[in-house]
Chain A
Amino acid sequence: MSATLEEGGAAAAGGAALPARPPFLEILSVGKQFGSFVALKDVSLSIAEGEFVSFVGPSGCGKTTLLRAIAGLDPATTGVIRQAGREITGLPPAARDFGIVFQSYALFPNLTVARNVAYGLRGPAWTRLRIAARVDELIRLVGLAEHATKYPAQLSGGQQQRVALARALAPEPGLLLLDEPLSALDAIVRLHLRQEIRALQRRLGVTTIMVTHDQEEAMGVSDRIVVMSRGRVEQVGTPEEVYRRPASAFVAGFVGRSAMFEAVVDASPGVLRAHGHVLLADAARGMLYGTQVNAFVRPEEVRLGAAAVAMPGAIRMEVVHLEFLGATCRVALESGRLRLEADATAEQLRKAGALPGAKVPVAVPADAVTLFPADV
């Protein structure tokens, strides 16, 4: 974890998250247009060898379009893409070096698991013996040794996913592309498989790009994540950096859980006025008096009860309702038009007397408020 933190710091210092290693995949000012619709606009990105990078964003943000441009399935219309120093922007897919796993897996239903995995092993270098050995190795690697002679329809969703992974990895591609590989699976299998994919990727050291709409999944497995919105890159960084220091209001709202409220920068430094309340925010220090801002506060940062009273600037808010999440409860808080959310353990709630309808002291640490100027 400390390693990623360090990397995150370095990347933040660079501003554009350029890793120290020479880039394996370079994407320079790539654009893609479908008729008059701009699907990608001026996307630039570098990915180092062996990195696991995720593209996240809501549907229609261009993440799959970017992946397909890298694969050459729908080439980019402008810009340059280089892989291992070679320009590949306009090359057909077969002239590139990648393996891909689709959301639907696209397994060949009439071929057995073994023959699916062997599908790309062609040409003079691949003798019958070598193919058999490679297929055997991969099927073992993904833990499907006893299913080699079965057909895809006879496997579970998670097993099919592994076959697709083995098939993509069989010809030893330099780049592995995963297009929403887990979204067709149920929650438990998903969690398990994403860890498995990550472990496999670490072991093989293959540079990997995963597209997903699930930011939690992306943060869980990636070295770095690329947050996209409306065809643009909003932020590139380690999961921690993106979570702690979102580069835009979009990222702050999309990644992780936040309460958002409108506020105005007050005359005294580091003070916000929001719906009649006064809040302390370090981020407001450099801002001009009267600036309209959108403020984001993560629920785990909000303090309740005695912990809040001990802090400067505590306010009283009404508990609207409680959502039980297991280890913690999410408390919806309201005071006038100001709304916040707080995560607290059952113990903390009991101490603070936070029952629906009750008024409790609430405080937000001054360094936990993220601000972005409001669009005027």
Chain B
Amino acid sequence: MSDATLGERLAVPGPGRGRPAGAPVRIRASLDERLMQAGLWLALAFMLAALALPMAFLLVRAFQDAEGGFVGLANFATYVTTPSLVASVWNSVWVAGVTTLAVVPLAFGYAYALTRSCMPFKAVFRAVMLLPILAPSLLPALALIYLFGNQGMLRGLLFGENIYGPWGIIAAQVFYCFPSAAIILSVALATADARLYEAAEALKASRARIFASVTLPGVRYGLVSAAVVVFTLVVTDFGIPKVIGGQFQVLATDVYKQVVGLQNFNMGAVVGMVLLLPALGAFALQRWAEGKRAATLTGRAVPYVPRPRRARDLPLLLLCLGVASALLGIVGVAAWGSLIRFWPYNLSLTLDNYEFGRFDVAGWGSFVTSARMAVWAATIGVVLVFVTAWLLERAPRATALSRWLRNAVGLLATAPLAIPGLVLGLAYILFFNHPANPLGLFYGTLAILVLNSIVHFYTVAHLTATTAIRQLDPEFESVGASLKVPAWLTFGRVTLPICLPALLEIWVYLFVNAMTTVSAVIFLYGPDTKPASVAVVHMDEAGQSSAAAAMACVLLAATTTAKLAQLAVAALTDRATQAWRRR
């Protein structure tokens, strides 16, 4: 080999001699590295099949006619010349805008109270705040109909106005979006640097000036994130406008109407593309805000600890009490409504509404379907998400190809956040229902619902996993390699046990969302696989609002149980496996 000659050439090693560098080293990849690389290729294949290809099909369909011929922009031309369709774009935008303006200040006040005041019962308020996340989005809409609908008990308060329409949608969306905004803002507010406040006080700044010059700039990206998330949630949500929107059309209901009502898949695809636009814009804005926010935090920050001050704590407590009772009240009304014999004429209590067989062919079966789907999605999803996130963080990046692969998988892992459930669902029908697709046998099965749920909720789970893995020392695998321990063994013995709390959180997140989602599954269920959330829509459409409320409450009970179980399991496993965290 060339070694000998090279050795001879360099017989006198020494510094500073201007010798040309030797031949490039051939680097032998270890078995670990090759396995990790193969794993990433598999992840890429999965994401192409489950995300990129269906979305490509959707894109293509927007440029085709019903027979599959290429028509260029004809569908888009039809779209912009149909007044009712264009009107719903504006409807979606202003409803989302008003909701954002209402939710963000409210959520800011609530989050501020949780993080920057000394009010009592913070833990309770924090728990109540999460309630709407556990409920299907239809639940607040149903509750509002009980209160303000045509037979509502508080209908008089509307002065002859109608709850079915934009204001009903906005009221329900405020409830539904509140926790997302409040969580983002309380995270942003919680990471304050006490030293800035001490400096401002030492410079004798007034409270108002400190708030304007320290507090607000510190959370400005959090505010952007919260606004963007709320706006996107409202634009892409389907359940609420379906139930309480009445004749008021928005983008999400347009997609449904085109596809299910008119069987016009091409126009559905066009509306889907339009629906994708605000979500994509929000996604870009969100990533920008995330990057900025991360950059404002330094490792040396001293956490801010609020001191009691009555003039601040009391009003904030009152605000939280008001918001929390509204949240509980809405859920309470839905629960109560589900127990009423015949609203509003016979208010005696009954459990009849929970005999779903009387209202819907599937009966309790739809709940079983939802539960099975959610358990499968959570279980398969957590494995897929966590292993992929670990591979992304730890796979070798020595070659240009491996860096490309890593970037491609990383991009596909964050893309689902920008794709509304309705659009993904539509893409799935077009893809899996295509006669030439060998995967078509999945259509209408539980498997496609599970797959859709995993992909739809992939990003948040992925970010949770990535955050957990990034907290580990990046040299764990290097230490393992130096001790000749294969990477998968270090993964099993060290990474997994340490990340157990994050794994639980991902599981419950996927479970809760798969249980409550309507938009992701409404196009995909088959005759034997109708999920409970879809059953709620159907029973409401059929005028059986008590049964719909009952089913929504069953879903809420299931997700709350899962969340409580997570807390209990976390506490138990904490004692058994996280002993090392205690000093």
Contact, CB under 8 Å: B32 / A29: no
- CB nearest to B478 among chain A residues: A73
Question: In the bound complex, what is the Cα–Cα distance between A170 and B582 (angstroms)?
Answer: 27
By DSSP majority rule, is chain B's interface helix, strand, loop, or mixed? loop
List, in ascending order, chain A residues with CB within 8 A of B120's CB: none
List, in ascending order, chain B residues with CB within 8 A of A120's CB: 482-485
Given A78-B23, A87-B3, A93-B30, do A44 and B476 touch, yes or no (CB 8 Å)?
no
Q: Cβ of B83 < 8 Å from any Cβ of A?
A: no
Looking at the assembled complex, report how far the CB atom of B578 sits from the nearest CB atom of chain A, in whole angstroms. Answer: 8
Q: Fill in one digit per residue for A27-39: 1 if any B CB lies within 8 Å of its CB, else 0.
A: 1110100000000
- A contacts with B, residue count (CB < 8 A): 60
Contact, CB under 8 Å: A232 / B15: yes
Contact, CB under 8 Å: A29 / B21: yes
Contact, CB under 8 Å: A79 / B22: yes
Q: Which listed residue, B7, B486, B583, touches A28 by the CB 8 Å rule? A: B7
Q: Cβ of A50 < 8 Å from any Cβ of B?
A: no
Question: In the bound complex, what is the Cα–Cα distance between A110 and B14 (angstroms)?
Answer: 45
Q: Cβ of A216 < 8 Å from any Cβ of B?
A: no
Contact, CB under 8 Å: A106 / B10: no
- CB nearest to B580 among chain A residues: A151
Contact, CB under 8 Å: B28 / A15: no
- CB nearest to A43 among chain B residues: B15
Looking at the assembled complex, report how far the CB atom of A84 sits from the nearest CB atom of chain B, in whole angstroms. Answer: 15
Among B148-156, B293-301, B409-417, B490-498, the one that faces the other chain is B490-498
- CB nearest to B479 among chain A residues: A106
Question: In the bound complex, what is the Cα–Cα distance between A191 and B498 (angstroms)?
Answer: 33
List, in ascending order, chain A residues with CB within 8 A of B579's CB: 151
Q: Fill in one digit per residue for B407-427: 1 if any A CB lies within 8 Å of its CB, else 0.
A: 000000000000000000000
Given A106-B476, A111-B493, do A89 and B25 touch, yes or no (CB 8 Å)?
yes
List, in ascending order, chain B residues with CB within 8 A of A95's CB: 28, 30
Contact, CB under 8 Å: A94 / B21: no
Contact, CB under 8 Å: B481 / A45: no
Q: Cβ of B27 < 8 Å from any Cβ of A?
A: yes
- CB nearest to A101 among chain B residues: B479
Contact, CB under 8 Å: B583 / A153: yes
Contact, CB under 8 Å: A92 / B15: no
Q: Cβ of B438 < 8 Å from any Cβ of A?
A: no
Q: Cβ of A98 < 8 Å from any Cβ of B?
A: yes
- B contacts with A, residue count (CB < 8 A): 49
Q: Cβ of A350 < 8 Å from any Cβ of B?
A: no
By DSSP majority rule, is chain A's interface helix, strand, loop, or mixed? mixed
Q: Cβ of A80 < 8 Å from any Cβ of B?
A: yes
Question: In the bound complex, what is the Cα–Cα distance between A98 and B479 (angstroms)?
Answer: 10
Q: Cβ of A367 < 8 Å from any Cβ of B?
A: no
Contact, CB under 8 Å: B28 / A90: yes
Q: Which listed residue, A80, A93, A94, touches B3 by the CB 8 Å rule? A: A80
Question: In the bound complex, what is the Cα–Cα distance between A77 and B494 (angstroms)?
Answer: 31
Q: Fill in one digit per residue for A65-84: 1 if any B CB lies within 8 Å of its CB, else 0.
A: 00000011111111110000
List, in ascending order, chain A residues with CB within 8 A of B207's CB: none
Q: Cβ of A236 < 8 Å from any Cβ of B?
A: yes
Q: Cβ of B160 < 8 Å from any Cβ of A?
A: no
Q: Which of B8-54 contact A (CB under 8 A)?
A: 10, 12-19, 21-33
Contact, CB under 8 Å: B577 / A110: yes
Q: Which listed residue, B30, B475, B582, touches A102 by the CB 8 Å rule? A: B475
Q: Cβ of B581 < 8 Å from any Cβ of A?
A: yes
Contact, CB under 8 Å: B14 / A15: yes
Question: In the bound complex, what is the Cα–Cα distance between A153 and B581 (angstroms)?
Answer: 7
Contact, CB under 8 Å: B481 / A92: yes
Q: Give B residues with C-beta under 8 Å from A.
A: 3, 6-7, 10, 12-19, 21-33, 398, 473, 475-476, 478-486, 493-494, 497-498, 577-583
29 A-B residue pairs with Cβ-Cβ distance under 8 Å, sorted by A, are A26-B13, A28-B6, A29-B6, A29-B10, A29-B19, A42-B17, A42-B19, A44-B15, A78-B22, A80-B6, A80-B7, A92-B32, A92-B33, A92-B481, A94-B482, A100-B479, A100-B482, A109-B580, A120-B483, A120-B485, A151-B579, A153-B583, A168-B482, A171-B484, A173-B482, A232-B16, A233-B15, A234-B15, A247-B15
Given A18-B13, A108-B476, list of 6 further CB < 8 A pairs?
Answer: A44-B14, A46-B13, A77-B24, A94-B482, A120-B485, A167-B479
